[in-house]
Amino acid sequence: MGGIDLHVHTNQSDGELPPAEVVRRAAGMGLRAVSITDHDCSDGLAEAMAAGVEHGIEVIPGVELSVRHGGFEQVHLLGYFVDQRNPDLENHLTELRDSRLGRGKRLVQKINQKLAQEGLPLIDFAQVEKLANKVISRPHIAKVMTDMGVTPSMPEAFRKYLVPLNIQKHKLGFEEAVNAVKKAGGIPVLAHPNLITADRREQIRLLDDFTRAGLKGLEVYYNNMTERDTEHYRVLALERNLLLTGGSDFHGFNNVYGNLGRVHGGRVVPEELLNPLKESYFQNRKVLVACGGFRSESAEKVLDSICMLTGADRIDGRAVAQGFPRVDPQSPQGLHMDIAIKRIVVLESELKLLRGKSAAVFCRYLDRKSALDLAAVASRCGADFALVLGPESASAVEGSESTAVVLNPESGTAAPYAGTSRNTLSNLLYFTLRG
Ligand SMILES: [Zn+2]
Ligand SMILES: [Zn+2]
């Protein structure tokens, strides 16, 4: 089937399925990548990323924040590639979740008053809490009501009780939310612009406001956007130099809120949207990549591809990449640097992404000590992360059967990465930067 889905919820917020199960299904459908974007919660990301490695699908870490703006109900900000360990973001998320708990309790009280008047059975809040896991949301209440038989369906529960009796939840201001995403290293993207207001002129006004406040992308594929809608929003985004994203807003629950991997009309979100998003993410990051077995045929091939795709000069000899200090090939650390080029890359499919941002170092030989030394070099170079790929790297960490070794320049440690060519850069990056 192909395609990507960059807007998916799990039971860490108001979705039904555990993160690993969502990722497993996405991989089973043949999706190229999936992003977990739970409401006000990043706790499912580690599980999802690990499942991505297991099932061979790229998982983009994400989050969806509720934003307060001019009385509009559905201003939601997606944050892609956020570091969930960022303390600032975590504080915001905790605050948002705490306020959801209080709001959920008050909302259930209000609904119970109405149910009592109607002579219907009352909701047990403990059941809502149990279903909700961490983030208490209205679909949880709707699900409990439907399971109890108080309403025939979840949409009906919304129509009759949850919408008319709604209580506002605590939200971040737009700029506050954008800054929280950016501080956590993420890319802020406006979700479902068509749900904010039906007035398209108003949408444009909002989009201009948001772009001025630092918005970087717009969701232009969504479960209820027709092809014409998508085209409309695509033009708006391109005019404002915004990245394009898209997703189903899948929540489980028999696809009431969207069908995994599909948008309106059964279309898929094209995977071409992913690379510009990643490029934007990698823009200010430095990467150091070493490829073991330099003289092997496969290494030569990778090197040729790098040069071709990036336009980098192939430098035979002992030069070291632009932006990185010179490394002495004869250094006692045992680094045998055969070649370095101006720009870097990791796997062939990722070559273009890192254009002009980093350097590749091909090593003839890399044992564990050399790998650790390389981590130190990467650290001195100010690289955000380093990877060692190639036939020799497997033995760089004892007992490892991985095809790559991920070095953490900060701590100078090396860890095996059980990756394949399908587990691409963001997964590797995740394991490096976030441990
Ligand atoms: Zn939303
Ligand atoms: Zn959503």
pLDDT band at 69 (very low <50, low <70, confident <90, very high): very high
Q: How far is the CA of 359 from the centre of ligand 2 (A)?
A: 37
Answer yes or no: is pLDDT of 295 > 90: no
Q: How far is the CA of 235 from the centre of ligand 2 (A)?
A: 23
Answer yes or no: is pLDDT of 216 > 60: yes
**Structural domain tally of the chain?**
2
* Tokens 């009501």, located at residue: 145
* Tokens 């691409």, located at residue: 424
Q: Of the residues 253, 280, 307, which one is the last residue of a structural domain?
A: 280
Distances (CA, A) of 9 to 17, 61, 140, 343, 355: 8, 12, 13, 37, 33
Query: Nearest bound ligand to CA 67?
Result: 1
How many Å apart are CA 300 and CA 293, to the nearest integer?
A: 9
Answer yes or no: is pLDDT of 418 > 90: no
Domain co-membership, 305 together with 270: no
- Is residue 136 included in any domain, yes or no? no
pLDDT band at 434 (very low <50, low <70, confident <90, very high): very low
Q: How far is the CA of 190 from the centre of ligand 2 (A)?
A: 11
Q: How far is the CA of 39 from the centre of ligand 2 (A)?
A: 7
The pLDDT tens digits for 29-62 are 999 899 999 999 999 988 998 888 788 788 888 9
Domain co-membership, 224 together with 298: no
Q: How far is the CA of 339 from the centre of ligand 1 (A)?
A: 48
Query: Nearest bound ligand to CA 37?
Result: 2
Q: Of the residues 280, 314, 330, which one is the last residue of a structural domain?
A: 280
Q: How far is the CA of 371 from the centre of ligand 1 (A)?
A: 43
Domain co-membership, 296 together with 399: yes
pLDDT band at 318 (very low <50, low <70, confident <90, very high): very low
- Is residue 267 included in any domain, yes or no? yes
Distances (CA, A) of 423 to 22, 55, 57, 58: 17, 9, 6, 6
Q: What one-character DSSP code corresponds to residue 390?
A: S
Domain co-membership, 221 together with 304: no
Answer yes or no: is pLDDT of 290 > 60: no
Contacts of 72 (CB under 8 A, 6+ apart): 196, 197, 206
The pLDDT tens digits for 229-261 are 999 999 999 999 999 999 999 999 877 778 999
Q: How far is the CA of 72 from the centre of ligand 1 (A)?
A: 12
pLDDT band at 328 (very low <50, low <70, confident <90, very high): very low
pLDDT band at 267 (very low <50, low <70, confident <90, very high): very high
Q: How far is the CA of 261 from the centre of ligand 2 (A)?
A: 14
What pLDDT does residue 53 have? 74
Q: How far is the CA of 123 from the centre of ligand 1 (A)?
A: 25
How many Å apart are CA 274 and CA 19, to the nearest integer?
A: 21
How many Å apart are CA 87 and CA 335, to the nearest integer?
A: 37
Distances (CA, A) of 266 to 21, 58, 89, 262, 384: 22, 22, 35, 5, 39
Contacts of 112 (CB under 8 A, 6+ apart): 122, 123
What pLDDT does residue 159 have? 95
How many Å apart are CA 129 and CA 134, to the nearest integer?
A: 8
Domain co-membership, 308 together with 240: no
Q: How far is the CA of 435 from the centre of ligand 2 (A)?
A: 27
Domain co-membership, 345 together with 256: no
CB 377 within 8 Å of CB 335: yes
How many Å apart are CA 207 and CA 34, to the nearest integer?
A: 25
Answer yes or no: is pLDDT of 303 > 80: no
Q: How far is the CA of 150 from the centre of ligand 1 (A)?
A: 26
Query: Nearest bound ligand to CA 135?
Result: 2
Mean per-residue pLDDT, 278-298 = 56
Q: How far is the CA of 245 from the centre of ligand 1 (A)?
A: 14
Residues 327, 331, 335, 337: is their CA dihedral positive or negative?
positive
Q: How far is the CA of 57 from the centre of ligand 1 (A)?
A: 24
Answer yes or no: is pLDDT of 143 > 70: yes
Answer yes or no: is pLDDT of 319 > 50: no
Q: How far is the CA of 38 from the centre of ligand 1 (A)?
A: 9
Query: Nearest bound ligand to CA 63?
Result: 2
Domain co-membership, 270 together with 294: no
What pLDDT does residue 363 have? 46
Helix (H, G, I), strand (E, B) or coil at 418: coil
Domain co-membership, 232 together with 268: yes
- Residue 239: other Cβ atoms inside 10 A: 11
Contacts of 351 (CB under 8 A, 6+ apart): 305, 306, 309, 310, 345
- Is residue 243 included in any domain, yes or no? yes
Domain co-membership, 78 together with 209: yes
- Is residue 133 included in any domain, yes or no? no
Residues 19, 422, 414, 426: is their CA dihedral positive or negative?
negative
- Is residue 424 included in any domain, yes or no? yes
- Is residue 128 included in any domain, yes or no? no
Beta bridge partners of 415: 406
Residue 351's identity, in one-letter code, is: L
Query: Nearest bound ligand to CA 171?
Result: 1
The pLDDT tens digits for 180-207 are 999 988 999 999 999 999 999 999 999 9
What pLDDT does residue 384 have? 56
Query: Nearest bound ligand to CA 38?
Result: 2
What pLDDT does residue 131 have? 87
What pLDDT does residue 225 have? 97
* Strands 287-291, 385-389: pairing kind: parallel
Could you list the residue range(s) of the whole structural domain that residue 314 is in?
285-433
pLDDT band at 301 (very low <50, low <70, confident <90, very high): low
- Is residue 422 included in any domain, yes or no? yes
- Is residue 97 included in any domain, yes or no? no
How many Å apart are CA 272 and CA 3, to the nearest integer?
A: 9
Q: How far is the CA of 192 from the centre of ligand 2 (A)?
A: 9
How many Å apart are CA 96 and CA 378, to the nearest integer?
A: 38
How many Å apart are CA 190 and CA 384, to the nearest integer?
A: 27
What pLDDT does residue 185 have? 83
CB 261 within 8 Å of CB 248: yes
Q: Of the residues 280, 299, 331, which one is the last residue of a structural domain?
A: 280
CB 125 within 8 Å of CB 132: no
Judged on CB neighbours under 10 Å (0-12, 13-18, 19+), 65 is: buried
Q: How far is the CA of 298 from the centre of ligand 2 (A)?
A: 42
Domain co-membership, 63 together with 196: yes
Domain co-membership, 265 together with 393: no
How many Å apart are CA 8 and CA 225, to the nearest integer?
A: 16
What pLDDT does residue 281 have? 75
Query: Nearest bound ligand to CA 41?
Result: 2
Domain co-membership, 214 together with 243: yes
Q: How far is the CA of 321 from the centre of ligand 1 (A)?
A: 43
Phi–psi pair at 415, nearest 5 degrees: -135, 145
Q: How far is the CA of 331 from the centre of ligand 2 (A)?
A: 52
The secondary element (H helix, E strand) that includes residue 53 is helix 45-55
CATH number at residue 55: 3.20.20.140
pLDDT band at 20 (very low <50, low <70, confident <90, very high): very high
pLDDT: which is higher, 12 or 255: 12
The pLDDT tens digits for 355-403 are 444 444 444 444 555 555 555 555 555 555 555 554 444 444 444 434 4
How many Å apart are CA 181 and CA 381, to the nearest integer?
A: 26
Phi–psi pair at 263, nearest 5 degrees: -125, -175
Question: Helices 138-148 and 125-132 sit at what angle, rounded to 10 degrees?
Answer: 120
Q: How far is the CA of 67 from the centre of ligand 1 (A)?
A: 10
What pLDDT does residue 156 have? 94
